[in-house]
């Protein structure tokens, strides 16, 4: 059985008065975070980055999962334990 989990990608962008405030976007530590959903991510895994290539770092201890329901263009999330 697969488990869908929500993670937040920190964009590093600081919001200003003109920042579009979509209901799913949150502000944390002064930067914009965008939610992504992934299935079957091991407990304790930390989101490192997003990418369009699921084979970017083969054999480098990354866990790669397809990202769902995200406003990001990248389709794959890279995690590390």
pLDDT in tens, 30-75: 888 888 999 999 999 999 999 999 988 777 889 999 998 777 788 9
CA distances from 56 to 13, 30, 35, 60 (A): 24, 30, 22, 10
pLDDT of residue 1 exceeding 60, the answer is: no
Q: What is the pLDDT of residue 16?
A: 77
Lowest mean per-residue pLDDT among 22-26, 70-74, 77-81: 22-26
**Number of structural domains the chain divides into:** 1
Residue 45 sits in which domain range?
Answer: 4-80
């Amino acid at each position: 059985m697969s488990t869908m989990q929500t993670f937040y990608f920190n964009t590093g962008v600081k919001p200003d008065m003109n920042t579009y405030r979509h209901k799913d976007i949150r502000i944390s530590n002064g930067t914009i975070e965008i939610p992504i959903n992934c299935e079957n991510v091991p407990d304790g895994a930390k989101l490192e980055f997003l990418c369009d290539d699921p084979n970017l770092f083969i054999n480098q201890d990354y866990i790669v999962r397809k990202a769902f329901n995200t406003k990001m263009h990248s389709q794959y999330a890279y995690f590390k334990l």
